[in-house]
Structure 1
Amino acid sequence: MTTRRLGLIMNGVTGRMGMNQHLIRSVAAIRAQGGVALSDGSRVQLDPILVGRNADKVAGLARAHGIERWTTDLDAAIADPKDEIFFDAATTQMRPNLLERAIEAGKHIYCEKPIATNLAEALRICRLAEAKGIRNGVVQDKLFLPGLQKLKMLRDSGFFGRMLSVRGEFGYWVFEGDWQPAQRPSWNYRSEDGGGMILDMVCHWRYVLDNLFGEVRAVSCIGQTAIPERVGEDGRRYAATADDAAYATFALEGGVIAHINMSWAVRVYRDDLVTFQVDGTNGSAVAGLTGCVMQARQATPRPVWNPDVKQTIDFYQGWQEVPDNVAFDNGFKAQWEMFVRHVAEDAPYRYTLVEGAKGVQLVECALQSWKERRWIDVPALDLAGGARPAMAAE
């Protein structure tokens, strides 16, 4: 069995997401298993170089996870012809410039989302990647969650019948930083630094909705800055200038209505940090990160509204757990392997930078809706410049 090397530049892996999900649970895990298996029986082993501004931090990270190469010189890393892929998980504001430099150097691109803070920049990067003929991908991690994979299985089996609605609940209480340290970095709450709930999360909802429930055609959204002042990593108070909560309704292709509440100022009283309830004519299901329960039409109880009598139905009892018949790998790792196969042997891959641009587009539409207090149509993206008008609520 032959194994070939695939050089990989990893930028932004000293941050929480880049380190935990992309370095440790994806690339390091792939290396530990002997690389990525290809269709011809050969394997590709990843040879990453870690890039960071703090030499001590990036060197320590490399040492801790058996990575031989690291650097603080991003320009030199991008210029090195022996590395074929550029991966970025650094700040959103810097991403378009970094991707442009890597594309011009002939690197294949894989990156976190959002791919930009505005649609014009996102489309510029997409067009450049297409013109240069490089392979490209954007992280769409939530599609690979076991809970959402189970929802997809139910959908594909016809369990829901005609799908009617989707209700999502996302978020948790992020401490203000005074009594207890915040669980998220302070820049998340400053719009001037690229922070904001709508920018951070609506790009996720675009690919979740498009791929599982129906293409997004229109959006109505309102944002909120619930906690106007927080305490940063330096112990100083700062003004929270970005939205930390948002409430959005989406009109999807086929007449499905989706509503998603998202907040970093909500205390959790549900089964998981994110849940999606899908209702259809023949059945309903509720999924979290890993679990999923379902209730068929035939098993649906018959409640009657009577506020003068205590409710006697235990509504939780009528739901059945979707079994773990499939072993799900870490979602980030699974998508990394898909992208590696795409680069190494031209395996099919659909989660391109254009899909990332769709997320940025929906962010802009949601922000416009909040500003103008109205529904906003979401047109189809066309890199050549044309657009199909989206249908509003059907």
Structure 2
Amino acid sequence: MPMTGTRARDAGVAAARGLALGGMSLIGSITLFTLTVVSIGLIPIGVGVLTTPALLGLIRSHADRRRLLAATWTGTGIPVAHRPLPERRPGVAGRAGHCWMLVKSPTTWRDLRWLLIDMTAGAATALLPASLFGEGLFGVLLLLGLWKPVVRAGGGYWYEFVRVDGWGTAALAALVGAGWIAVGLRFGPSLIRVHFGITRSWLIPTREAELGERIDRLTETRHDAVDSSAAELRRIERDLHDGAQARLVAMGMNLSTVEALIEKDPAQARLVLSMARASSAEALSELRDLVRGIHPPVLAERGLGDAVRALALRLPVTTEVEVDLPGRAEAPVESAAYFAVSEVLTNAVKHAAADRIQVDVYHVEGMLRISVTDDGRGGASTGAGSGLSGIQRRLGTFDGVLAVNSPVGGPTMVTMEIPCVLSSPKTSSC
């Protein structure tokens, strides 16, 4: 009996989820496909240049939403295969170039093909669990007297292969209806998994397309890595010059003054010596902060899991961290992941007005996956000028990707993936 109750509950949940997915497929996918095809067709006269980028952005958001539901409802992982939207240069030429880059992207046509499948096979598999229940329930209702008004209205009624014209045939129809309900109980959750399986098969790129996009992305991120390294070196030089170096120079001057005063005015010499000691303490503190900004000691000593936990402890917002890492990644990968998480958490605190944050760090299928979810105001994006675009470039250096699902009003879920192998022994408590 408990098993039957569990199966009925799972089937009911599958039917409800199927209705939601069917609505997304029939309304969202059809609308986006139609508008986008029309918009692309209007590019030669200039109108499509204005509308196509926005619509393609909506399609990507639509696909990302389906990825999130696939992972949440069935545990089906659908990798984020598209590259970040290119930043638009100012002016008419920049807008046109931006539109052209989007239209010629293989990702655009892959998403459009998925919309076609989603509005047909995707919608059918999503709506089938609810349809099975609805059809079965109607058959049962025929036995409860519904057959009388139906037969009077039409002079006879065919339910599946049964012609209902009396109590006997109504009972047979109810038996067939009970069979449809049983099929729904047995296969409803599986049909939802089939729906997401279809989605996955059309959203992930072919091997050739994946390699082509990876080469392009690595070429771009190589330049970003060089620029980032140069900027980081300039920052370190500036911090040393304006901070620790200035403190050490002041300390040296104070010690020279002490040498001159120690015989003539010991009291004044002790005062200057105290100032020198304070300068040395400040210089040491600034050097430690600088080292922590380059590579935090807790990250080097304890690994990514404990380093993220240390980040969470310093936040003014309740933050839960779940870590499942059976080993250590290479130091550059850990460093990139750590600073990416740090920036996402900073954004959640500063801009999202979140009250609660959940961080999940785990390694599966050769990927280091990190998700940061907050209950803030939402509306985050990876567009130009956003801090998330910098995280994209940081992860791209390691062939990693970032996906953002942040509807207005929240919640926001930022997912980061970096391909890596955990080859070192486990040294943290995660």
TM range (shorter): under 0.3
Rg (Cα) greater in structure: 2
- What is the TM-score when the length of structure 2 is the normalising length? 0.20
Give the number of the structure whose residues are more often helix, by fraction: 2
Give the number of the structure whose residues are more often strand, by fraction: 1
Q: Which has the higher contact order (CA 8 A, sep 6+)?
A: 1
